[in-house]
Structure 1
């Protein structure tokens, strides 16, 4: 059964009263440190799930074309269907949370939730910066229907780690069994956990040099 935003926030001892949200691609006017969660759900309590992997094959083809090729299991390929099938292995059909991220403060004054989420929005697929962590989510056909939830807090790096760990422990037994040999169990668009342990997706050359 899916974990709601509220449930996840409560499990890491943050107050659900601090949860705020916007629709995808909406600016966030918050300069505080914190964490953010991208979800198919439209409220912190709801659990909207999707059985079928909602990938846009056209976006994937354009991504491959932009880089000339991907690698899959160490071999160069331009076959979008092969890449799609590998990505689909990491789709969690019984979860609504798609990404968990942190937004620490920075010495240059450009940190905080609003700035980090803006970087997430503005990084074109295949680009390395300013925030390449969310490329997988930008493959989804339902991208414009997603919501970004955010919670101001201190120690965002530690909170993100705890959230990701808690999420992985909370997924269904069937999901755990299916993903048990594919690295840490993470939201679909997270490629590594809070300890920098990566998913074993074996897709390479996904970003410009």
Structure 2
């Protein structure tokens, strides 16, 4: 298993994460098709929250939450705002590449099934958030370990991880 020495870009790079591209760059990034975990990071000033999410309405569900809730969920002491996983699916083209493309497309307003992590799309600078990934043959276990480590260090889940 891996451990992030710090919950920021430097700590993620030290732990072997790769990419560190924005959602705008993700469509053309060389994301591996294998299973793994990914982080969404925001190395910026305090956030500005949007009242409505531009994300897609998957199964006609509204992805927006109140700005009061966004403020309650926000953690100022970390750059990591979401931890996710990409499991192996039916074809070799699935995995991280497919899952991160779904996440990007959901944020662009398409009705794609990536409900987890949806709070990031209510950040005014969501397009400039960084995405980093790490291949793993055990993405479920690695995601669980990373989330448990994060909770141990911060006392709660990352901003956009609403449950685990």
- Secondary structure of the 1:123 match is helix
Query: Which of these two proteins has the greater Rg computed from alpha carbons?
Result: 1
Structure 2: gaps (5+ residues): 1-5
Moved over 3 A (4+): 5-10, 60-63, 67-70, 124-129
Tell me the C-alpha RMSD between the 2 structures: 3.2
TM-score with structure 2 setting the length: 0.77
Q: For this pair of structures, how many residues does the alignment match? A: 154
Aligned residue for 1:22?
21
CA shift for structure 1 position 33: 1.3
Provide the C-alpha distance between the structure 2 equivalents of 1:69 and 1:102, rounded to a whole number of angstroms. 23
The answer to whether the Cα contact below 8 Å between 1:3 and 1:170 also exists between their aligned partners in 2 is no
The answer to whether the Cα contact below 8 Å between 1:38 and 1:149 also exists between their aligned partners in 2 is yes
The answer to whether the Cα contact below 8 Å between 2:54 and 2:109 also exists between their aligned partners in 1 is no
The correspondence for 1:94, drawn from 77, 84, 103, is 77
Aligned residue for 2:11?
7
Provide the C-alpha distance between the structure 1 equivalents of 2:80 and 2:136, rounded to a whole number of angstroms. 19
The answer to whether the Cα contact below 8 Å between 2:20 and 2:131 also exists between their aligned partners in 1 is yes
Aligned residue for 1:202?
none
Provide the C-alpha distance between the structure 2 equivalents of 1:151 and 1:5, rounded to a whole number of angstroms. 13
The answer to whether the Cα contact below 8 Å between 1:126 and 1:135 also exists between their aligned partners in 2 is no
Using a 3 Å threshold, how does the CA distance of structure 1 residues 69 and 104 change in structure 2: closer, same or farther?
A: closer
TM-score with structure 1 setting the length: 0.62
The correspondence for 1:140, drawn from 80, 98, 123, is 123
